[in-house]
Amino acid sequence: MKEEIKIPEIINKETSRRGFLKGAAMTAGGAIALATIGGVRPKEVKAAEAPKVMQRYLFAERQNCTGCRACEYACNIQHEGVVRPSVARIHVYKHKGVVDIPVICWHCDDHPCIAACPTNPNSLTVDPKGNGIILNEKTCIGEKCLKCVEACPAQYVRVNPDTGQPLMCDMCGGDPECVKACVRQSGQPQGPCLIANTLGFGVNQAYRNVKPVKAGEDMLALLFYPSNGGRPVTGKSGKGR
Amino acid sequence: MTAPKGGYFGKILEVDLSKGEIKTRPLSDEVARKCIGGAGMGDHFLTTEYKAKHDPYAEDSFIFIGVGPLNGTYCPATRASFVNQSVYTGLTSHAEVGGHFGNEIKWAGWDGIYIKGKAKKPVWLSIKDDKVELKDASKMWGKDTETTDEMILKEMKDPYARTAVIGPAGENGVPFAAVIVERFRAAARTSTGALMGNKKLKGIGVRGTKAVPTVEPAKFLQAAKEAEQLAVEREAWQGIKRWGTGGLLEQKQWVTSSLITKNFQTTWYPDIEHIGGEQGARTFWKRHVSCNNCPVHCLKLGVIREGKHKGLIAEGPEYETGGLLGSNLMMKDFAGMMAMIELCDGLGIDAISTGGVLAFTTECVDKGVLTAADLDGIKVKWGYADGYLELIKKMAYKEGKAGKLLAKGVRKMSQEIGKGSEAWAVQVRGKEIAAHDPRGDKNRAYSYAMGQCGGDHHEGDSPEIQARWAMVNSLCMCSFVGGYPWAKETPPVFVNMLNPLCGWNMTSEEYWATARRIITMERSFNVREGISRKDDRLHKRFMTEPLPEGPKKGTIFTAEEEKKMQESYYKYYGWDDNGIPTEATLKSLDLEYLIEDVQKAKKNL
């Protein structure tokens, strides 16, 4: 079992990719050998994988959202320990009962929310590691202000009904739980909707300007009215009832 | 009476529409543990509050919208359960519906909604946590379900609220009217729509912001995550993820030979390829929709791309809607079938019963028992969507001769028409059956004939599975996600979740006893209404007409099989030969209060 404790050290030591692979192969081999002798379960062998890269941006591929809200649940579990979507830092808006639109913090590089915060010191700060927005609950003046809610171009920021303070996405310190939940629930025939990345590509700056309702309208037009320039054909909803 | 420690809020919302009163009814831990919630809780109210031979339209008749302890927690795929005495059959009935409606009720801090009385003018119920109001719905009255859904969401000024509404069919008292939840989901087999229409309750909008109290959160979360993993890994769900239940249309045709066709005349319908899951996937579906936290996303939304119904957004085909409004009507026109399904959703009418009525009508026309004059001159023939669309509209509004006749349902129609038409009036205890032919899929006979709701496809295919399903419906779980992989295990996965959630020490034995209690409660209610062994049977078409073609050609459901089915069922639940729960059984299940009623009903048989 002593071998196992060394695993992270070996990974940290790696200098070149090649050397890293070699090391990983060695430890994995060692762990498997241990598994046969010492009864370590194969699950624990996974510990030999590279540590998770710190993610800095969140994306939503809206076409893939099924509206299961697993992201909200995962967010709640991470932050509150129990499911309570009304205080989740990510939310899914259902547009006209047809399309589900994930509403996320795009982690803008210019941080309009932080710029709008009037308190001194600023109640909102950026987590240098994971690029998340951290709220200082002691200095935030909550309901009286909510300038950050107004400033958010994506209409993302919601207010915690208990404290009156804004709910901000902290990226779970660089390893967002919502993305993991989305990956777990997806597949057959479409992939996950949420993606985390280290680069923003500037796409987040463009996406953020689309409000949830507009995103819903876009998605309806894109998916459901393919042959008529985005408009229904027969009557208001095409039903003729 | 002790208050529940966790899993429940310990209060049920009670609405009296006659007086316009809104009250809180406390829920004790004892009752919660005995009846769990959802269907079981509804059955508890049905058996304790109604006297024998109750009139389903009476002033005191209630609708119970139940949720279970697992609603609103991390547990995936929870639902809501609509329970009432069916105005269609007069028997106990419950319909489960997915989506997020049930969870919102829970997050609003309620363990269920109990609605009684009759409003003088149309109202709708707005629930925002503890703020509950009855609001004027006169502007919504007469509108279809889609418009009503939009209007309620607009008035609630909350984009995250969820709705349950009725359409014109419910308002006009069509006895198989449905409640449409979140625009595309239906709680349809209970006739709750008709009862809501009778009470002048147009809809319910609900939004909650609370969290469900949990006794041991960490332990519960671990159990719920294990359960979720079982659902994620289950291989059978990969197909449902891809094709929804619509994919079963092909499966039942080619594999089990139980796809209903031509008003249950045969199970051989190769043309299913024009209306089945693969056709949907290739030409129609655009969006896969999940219930809460569920990996299966079985609801499929699509849009018709060309032809007369171009631009129509609709949900399905699911197995039941595609079977009843597709193969059972010999449809080859996919767009036409989808238009029918969407029309049923829009008008708020049960697609299963509607399909049964239309197929029966068509066979009547085929056999010359009904003529065009009886049907307001509407052309009715197999596979002709336009005629069927006309009939559905007439039915929902009870318009003309055709509408008035068809809105009665198959059993009453055949009684009125006579001329031997009961030979093809396929129903069980007055309700049209779903889309599985019991000659091809013999276990399904349990669900239709022995299941207490009668004619339902989701009651369970053996005595033991019915016990599982009773728990699944009372926990308000999806029968796919929760029913198959979870309920089977011993001790069931549910027990591992319930104990840390509610602070119970439930064992496997108690779990199964609770299941038997719920089924026996339902049975006792039905026995009071005059049900016994004579009613626990399939329609005679399945017992006299062999399948004319297909891999199971020549098969019938024999009298011997029926006898075996009934006897094994009564034995499992401890009922007598006539299907009446015995005194000892009722005692052992803490249902002493039913002994007198059941004995009285037994004498009157």
Indicate if the pLDDT at residue A39 is higher than 80: no
- Smallest Cβ–Cβ distance between A188 and the set B210, B238, B289 belongs to B238
Q: Cβ(A101)–Cβ(A212) under 8 Å? A: yes
User: With a CB-CB cutoff of 8 Å, which residues 133-172 of chain A face chain B?
Assistant: 161
Residues 6+ apart with CB under 8 A from A46: none
Task: Measure in Å the smallest separation between the Cα of B74 and chain A Cα atoms.
Answer: 6
Best residue in B149, B182, B297, B341 to probe A by mutation, most A CBs within 10 Å? B297
Which chain A residues have a beta carbon less than 8 Å from that of B346? 239, 241
Gap between the Cα atoms of B597 and B525, Å rounded: 9
Q: Which ipTM did the prediction report?
A: 0.93
Best residue in B232, B283, B303 to probe A by mutation, most A CBs within 10 Å? B303
Q: What are the backbone angles phi and psi of residue B502, rounded to the nearest 5°?
A: -100, -5
Average pLDDT value for chain B: 94
Residues 6+ apart with CB under 8 A from B282: none
A212–B313: do the CB atoms touch at under 8 Å? no
DSSP A95-115: ETTTEEEEE-----SS-HHHH
Gap between the Cα atoms of B193 and B84, Å rounded: 11
Indicate if the pLDDT at residue B486 is higher than 90: no
Parallel, antiparallel or unpaired: strands B201-207 and B123-128: parallel
User: With a CB-CB cutoff of 8 Å, which residues 68-107 of chain A face chain B?
Assistant: 68-70, 73, 76-77, 80-87, 91, 93-94, 96-100
Chains A and B form CB pairs within 8 A to the count of 136
Task: Measure in Å the smallest separation between the Cα of A131 and chain B Cα atoms.
Answer: 27
Task: Measure in Å the smallest separation between the Cα of A12 and chain B Cα atoms.
Answer: 31
A233–B311: do the CB atoms touch at under 8 Å? yes
Gap between the Cα atoms of A156 and A105, Å rounded: 6
Q: Point out the least confidently predicted range of A19-23, A216-220, B171-175, B229-233.
A: A19-23
Task: Measure in Å the smallest separation between the Cα of A202 and chain B Cα atoms.
Answer: 28
Burial class of residue B416 in the structure, from the number of CB atoms within 10 Å of its CB (0-12 exposed, 13-18 middle, 19+ buried): exposed
B212–A234: do the CB atoms touch at under 8 Å? no
Q: Write down the pLDDT at residue A26.
A: 39
Q: Write down the pLDDT at residue B483.
A: 79
A194 bridge partner residues: A60
Q: What are the backbone angles phi and psi of residue B26, rounded to the nearest 5°?
A: -70, 150
B487 token code pair: 């309920």
Q: Write down the pLDDT at residue A113.
A: 95
Q: Is A228 on the interface with B (CB under 8 A)?
A: yes
A125-150 pLDDT, tens digit each: 999 988 999 999 999 999 999 999 99
* Percent of chain A residues topping a pLDDT of 70: 72
Q: Cβ(B102)–Cβ(B67) under 8 Å? A: yes
Which chain A residues have a beta carbon less than 8 Å from that of B182? 94, 97
Q: Cβ(B528)–Cβ(B598) under 8 Å? A: yes
Q: Identify the band that residue A50 occupies on the pLDDT scale cut at 50, 70 and 90.
A: low
A224–B303: do the CB atoms touch at under 8 Å? yes
Gap between the Cα atoms of B508 and A15, Å rounded: 55
Q: Write down the pLDDT at residue A235.
A: 42
Q: Point out the least confidently predicted range of A19-33, A113-127, A147-161, B220-234.
A: A19-33
Task: Measure in Å the smallest separation between the Cα of B401 and chain A Cα atoms.
Answer: 20
Q: Write down the pLDDT at residue B544.
A: 95
B501 token code pair: 């959630």
Q: Write down the pLDDT at residue A5.
A: 40
Task: Measure in Å the smallest separation between the Cα of A74 and chain B Cα atoms.
Answer: 9
A176 token code pair: 């967002």
Three-class secondary structure of residue B241 per DSSP = helix
Q: Write down the pLDDT at residue B1.
A: 80
Indicate if the pLDDT at residue A2 is higher than 50: no
Q: Write down the pLDDT at residue A37.
A: 38
Task: Measure in Å the smallest separation between the Cα of B556 and chain A Cα atoms.
Answer: 38
- Dihedral sign for Cα atoms in the order B71, B73, B74, B75: negative
Q: Write down the pLDDT at residue A33.
A: 38
Task: Measure in Å the smallest separation between the Cα of A125 and chain B Cα atoms.
Answer: 27
Q: Is A52 on the interface with B (CB under 8 A)?
A: no
Task: Measure in Å the smallest separation between the Cα of B29 and chain A Cα atoms.
Answer: 21
Which chain B residues have a beta carbon less than 8 Å from that of A73? 74, 292-293
pTM: 0.91
- Dihedral sign for Cα atoms in the order A46, A49, A54, A58: negative
Q: Return the amino acid letter for B524.
A: S
Which chain A residues have a beta carbon less than 8 Å from that of B289? 66-67, 100
Q: What are the backbone angles phi and psi of residue B556, rounded to the nearest 5°?
A: -130, 165
Q: Write down the pLDDT at residue B343.
A: 95
B262 token code pair: 């031509």
Q: Write down the pLDDT at residue B310.
A: 86
Best residue in A76, A77, A79, A83 to probe B by mutation, most B CBs within 10 Å? A83
B402-444 pLDDT, tens digit each: 999 999 999 999 999 999 999 999 999 999 999 999 999 999 9
Q: Identify the band that residue B234 occupies on the pLDDT scale cut at 50, 70 and 90.
A: confident
Best residue in B290, B296, B393 to probe A by mutation, most A CBs within 10 Å? B290
Section B156-182 average pLDDT: 95
Task: Measure in Å the smallest separation between the Cα of B286 and chain A Cα atoms.
Answer: 6
If one counts every other C-beta atom within 10 angstroms of the C-beta of residue B57, the result is 14
Going from the C-alpha of B572 to that of each of B314, B490, B509, the distances in angstroms are: 42, 18, 14
Select the more confidently predicted residue: A207 or B120: B120
Q: Write down the pLDDT at residue A237.
A: 43
* Domain A57-224, classified CATH 3.30.70.20, yes or no: yes
**DSSP secondary-structure letter at B246?**
G
Q: Write down the pLDDT at residue A20.
A: 38
A204 token code pair: 């987040």
Q: Identify the band that residue B316 occupies on the pLDDT scale cut at 50, 70 and 90.
A: confident
Ranges of CATH 3.30.70.20 domains, chain A: 57-224
Residues 6+ apart with CB under 8 A from B5: B29, B213, B215, B502, B503
Which chain A residues have a beta carbon less than 8 Å from that of B109? none
Which chain B residues have a beta carbon less than 8 Å from that of A212? 159
Q: Is A13 on the interface with B (CB under 8 A)?
A: no
Query: Domains in chain B, please, with CATH?
Result: 11-207 (3.60.9.10), 234-424 (1.10.569.10), 444-603 (1.10.599.10)
- Smallest Cβ–Cβ distance between A66 and the set B210, B289, B346 belongs to B289
B212–A68: do the CB atoms touch at under 8 Å? no
Indicate if the pLDDT at residue A236 is higher than 50: no
**DSSP secondary-structure letter at B327?**
G
Gap between the Cα atoms of B488 and B499, Å rounded: 18
Task: Measure in Å the smallest separation between the Cα of B429 and chain A Cα atoms.
Answer: 32
Q: What are the backbone angles phi and psi of residue B498, rounded to the nearest 5°?
A: -65, -40
- Smallest Cβ–Cβ distance between B182 and the set A97, A190, A223 belongs to A97
Structural element, H or E, at residue B287: strand B285-289
Indicate if the pLDDT at residue A109 is higher than 60: yes
Which chain A residues have a beta carbon less than 8 Å from that of B105? none
Burial class of residue A200 in the structure, from the number of CB atoms within 10 Å of its CB (0-12 exposed, 13-18 middle, 19+ buried): middle
Indicate if the pLDDT at residue A52 is higher than 70: no
A226–B303: do the CB atoms touch at under 8 Å? yes
Going from the C-alpha of A219 to that of each of A155, A216, A228, B55, B525, the distances in angstroms are: 17, 5, 14, 48, 49
B311–A225: do the CB atoms touch at under 8 Å? yes
Q: Give the residue from B601, B583, B595 showing the smallest Cα distance to B530.
A: B601
Burial class of residue B412 in the structure, from the number of CB atoms within 10 Å of its CB (0-12 exposed, 13-18 middle, 19+ buried): middle
Which chain A residues have a beta carbon less than 8 Å from that of B150? 96-97
Q: Write down the pLDDT at residue A129.
A: 87
Q: Return the amino acid letter for B391.
A: L
- Upper half-sphere CA count for residue B126 (Cβ side, 13 Å): 16
State yes or no: cis peptide before A189, omega within 30 of 0.
yes
A-chain residue closest to B341, CA distance: A239
A146-196 pLDDT, tens digit each: 999 999 999 999 999 999 999 999 999 999 999 999 999 888 788 899 999
B255-312 pLDDT, tens digit each: 999 999 999 999 999 999 999 999 999 999 999 999 999 999 999 999 998 888 888 8
- Smallest Cβ–Cβ distance between A93 and the set B76, B159, B212 belongs to B159
Q: Write down the pLDDT at residue A103.
A: 95
Indicate if the pLDDT at residue B119 is higher than 50: yes
B242–A99: do the CB atoms touch at under 8 Å? no
B390 token code pair: 């006309």
DSSP B593-605: GGHHHHHHHHHT-
B288–A189: do the CB atoms touch at under 8 Å? yes
Gap between the Cα atoms of B187 and B204, Å rounded: 13
Parallel, antiparallel or unpaired: strands A124-126 and B92-97: unpaired
Residues 6+ apart with CB under 8 A from B590: B34, B517
- Residue at token pair 């800095």: A56
Task: Measure in Å the smallest separation between the Cα of B215 and chain A Cα atoms.
Answer: 11
A68–B74: do the CB atoms touch at under 8 Å? no
Q: Write down the pLDDT at residue A53.
A: 75
Gap between the Cα atoms of B438 and B411, Å rounded: 19
Q: Cβ(A70)–Cβ(A181) under 8 Å? A: yes
Q: Is A216 on the interface with B (CB under 8 A)?
A: no
- Dihedral sign for Cα atoms in the order B247, B250, B253, B256: negative
Which chain B residues have a beta carbon less than 8 Å from that of A87? 209
B238-247 pLDDT, tens digit each: 889 999 999 9
Gap between the Cα atoms of B118 and B346, Å rounded: 24
